[in-house]
Amino acid sequence: MEPHKKNEEVCLSITDIGTGGEGIGHLEDGYTLFVQGALPGDEIRAHIVKAEKKYGYGKLMSVINPSPDRIVPACPIADRCGGCQIAALSYEAQLKLKENRVRELLVRVGGFSHEHIDGIFEAVRGMDLKDAGDVPVRFRNKAQYPVGTDREGNIITGFYAVHSHRIVPADDCLIGPESDAPILGIIKEFMHSNNISAYDETTHKGIVRHVLIRTGFATGQIQVCIVINADSLPHSDALVGRLSEFPGIETIVTSSNTGTGNVILGDDFKVLYGTGYITDRIGDVSFRISPLSFYQVNPAQTVKLYEKALEYAALTGTETVWDLYCGIGTISLFLARRAGMVYGVESVKQAVDDAVENAKINGMENVRFMYGRAEEVLPEYYESASEDQKNPDPSLHPDVIVVDPPRKGCDAACLDTMLKMAPERIVYVSCDPATLARDLKILCGSGDYELTKVSCTDMFVSSVHVETVVSLRRSLEKG
Ligand code: SAH
């Protein structure tokens, strides 16, 4: 392979896409180039801006021959905003790309054969479209807008550019609800007229850092959370006066975050208006959601995702089930309606409190929620319970374990205890196929479990992220 140098101009075909949405292609000698903004199927000219021995990074100079799947995105800032990396691909091509990524990782990282995966892969479920050729918009119920100041000193809100903390101003995000823009407008106006500064990361000065807006699509209830670099927001009464009149705003809170890191929310919340939480419904189950609690971002697809998890759990009404990484108990309550008993584990206190309340709201008594990390709670629970051979405790050897971890996947200690608990079925819900594949290798590599079904649900339209649910069955010879 030829060594390549910075500032070289090259032409290449893009064949793949990376986890950050960057196009990936190879030069004739095999040298790999990562090019932001280039899409699979494009033939491009790029300028090498950073060259390592075997790979480098290129700046997209021009698209010589566009991919047949390229479209003009509806969003005017799609090429600058870091939020939607594949907005310029047709929806069909987006879905194909996600499916292929999951297949490829299950084979390469998970160690499964192509034939096995082909035999059990269900069609990816995209969003329902009004017209073929559409890319869905306005599907997301939550956004976190960084607040800053432009060169002229105006307060701006928007989204971070790719790989940076430079704010691309955006008053209306096309994937979020239309009500976000006027809410941000009120907050900017309030800051302007009360002389409240936006936070500046470089100097660590200024007050307002982020605005989080979450909207219950079923109930219309809106939660506004203002993240501040202070203990309290000056003149907050004036803001509450204006925002509380806005249709749907149910609660307004501040989150105090005086740290210098990238974490958005601080731990200290103050309720300025309402109760602090909103309520939403998924199907006919109601959920209370606090600002720190996780809640799936695409309501139309969440129902499909949970139905798939429920289908794979194959419950008849009597089973004992664990729901690890349970958040506010969404999957737990869906399961509880068809199970004997459900145990949920979650590491965010506000979310566990929400989960307990949610069981009450929906009148479900066959659930128990535990606060803590799954990799600590589960082993401790398992080890501390003494086994009584005559009277086996079903919670130690459940019928089903459902896991839905964050992107980093399950901790080894958690997987290890799951194997010891030896449930008949494991349902793994994953937002990162790379860690899913890694964890499946552990669960199936031991020969204890067989991967029996894989399905993807598109929760994150126009982004490279993909949600996968898989079903594992305890191997017959182990049963
Ligand atoms: N199943 C829920 C939540 C999934 S998101 C739903 O569909 O709504 C993942 C959840 O795992 C988040 O609520 C997060 O707070 C929680 N979490 C993260 N790390 C954890 C850990 N080590 N142990 C338990 N829960 C964890």
Query: How far is residue 320 from each of residues 12, 26, 83, 186, 224, measured CA to CA in Å?
Result: 55, 51, 40, 49, 38
Atom of ligand 1 nearest to the CA of 351: 13
Tokens matching residue 13: 């075909």
Phi, psi angles (nearest 5°) of residue 17: -135, 140
Q: Is the dihedral of CA 126, 132, 133, 137 positive or negative?
A: negative
Q: Number of helices and strands (H, E) in the chain?
A: 10, 21
Protein residue whose Cα sits closest to atom 3 of ligand 1: 327
Tell me the C-alpha distance between 148 and 179, whole Å: 21
Identify the pLDDT of residue 387.
Answer: 64
Long-range contacts of 56-59 (CB under 8 A, 24+ apart): 56/4, 56/6, 56/31, 56/32, 57/33, 58/10, 58/33, 58/34, 59/35
Identify the pLDDT of residue 303.
Answer: 96
Mutate to test the pocket of ligand 1, among 264, 304, 346, 435 (most ligand atoms within 8 A of CB): 346
Tokens matching residue 366: 């066959």
Identify the pLDDT of residue 395.
Answer: 92
Q: Is the dihedral of CA 138, 142, 148, 154 positive or negative?
A: positive
Tell me the C-alpha distance between 404 and 427, whole Å: 9
Query: How far is residue 239 from each of residues 195, 272, 419, measured CA to CA in Å?
Result: 13, 9, 52
Tokens matching residue 474: 């305890």
E strand or H helix at 187:
helix 180-193
- Ligand 1 centre from 342 Cα, in Å? 16
Smallest CA-to-CA distance from 192 within 159, 144, 147 is with: 147
The residues near 395 (Cβ < 8 Å, ≥ 6 apart) are: 320, 322, 341, 343, 381, 385
Identify the pLDDT of residue 445.
Answer: 92
- Ligand 1 centre from 293 Cα, in Å? 9
What ranges make up the beta strands (E) of 32-190? Answer: 32-35, 43-51, 55-65, 142-149, 155-160, 167-169
Length of the chain: 479
Tell me the C-alpha distance between 163 and 199, whole Å: 19
Tell me the C-alpha distance between 35 and 403, whole Å: 35
What ranges make up the beta strands (E) of 134-248? Answer: 142-149, 155-160, 167-169, 208-215, 222-228
- Ligand 1 centre from 373 Cα, in Å? 9
Q: Is the dihedral of CA 77, 458, 465, 310 positive or negative?
A: positive
- Ligand 1 centre from 386 Cα, in Å? 28
Tokens matching residue 91: 């929806």
Mutate to test the pocket of ligand 1, among 281, 302, 326 (most ligand atoms within 8 A of CB): 326
Atom of ligand 1 nearest to the CA of 295: 8
Atom of ligand 1 nearest to the CA of 306: 7
Protein residue whose Cα sits closest to atom 11 of ligand 1: 325
| pTM exceeds cut of 0.85 | yes
- Ligand 1 centre from 346 Cα, in Å? 6
| DSSP assignment letter at 180 | H
Mutate to test the pocket of ligand 1, among 347, 407, 436 (most ligand atoms within 8 A of CB): 347
Catalytic residues: 431
Task: Tally Cβ neighbours within 10 Å of residue 438.
Answer: 17
Atom of ligand 1 nearest to the CA of 305: 7
Phi, psi angles (nearest 5°) of residue 310: -65, -40
Protein residue whose Cα sits closest to atom 13 of ligand 1: 327
Ligand 1 site: residues with CB under 6 angstroms? 294-296, 325-327, 330-331, 345-348, 351, 373-375, 404-406
Identify the pLDDT of residue 80.
Answer: 85
Query: What is the block-wise mean pLDDT of the chain (479 residues), using blocks of 10 residues?
Result: 87 92 94 95 97 95 96 90 90 95 97 98 93 89 96 94 87 93 97 96 95 98 98 97 97 96 90 98 96 96 97 98 98 97 97 98 98 97 76 89 98 97 97 98 95 98 96 83
Tell me the C-alpha distance between 40 and 58, whole Å: 15
- Ligand 1 centre from 239 Cα, in Å? 33
Burial of 139 (0-12, 13-18, 19+ CB in 10 A): buried
The residues near 237 (Cβ < 8 Å, ≥ 6 apart) are: none
E strand or H helix at 106:
helix 91-108
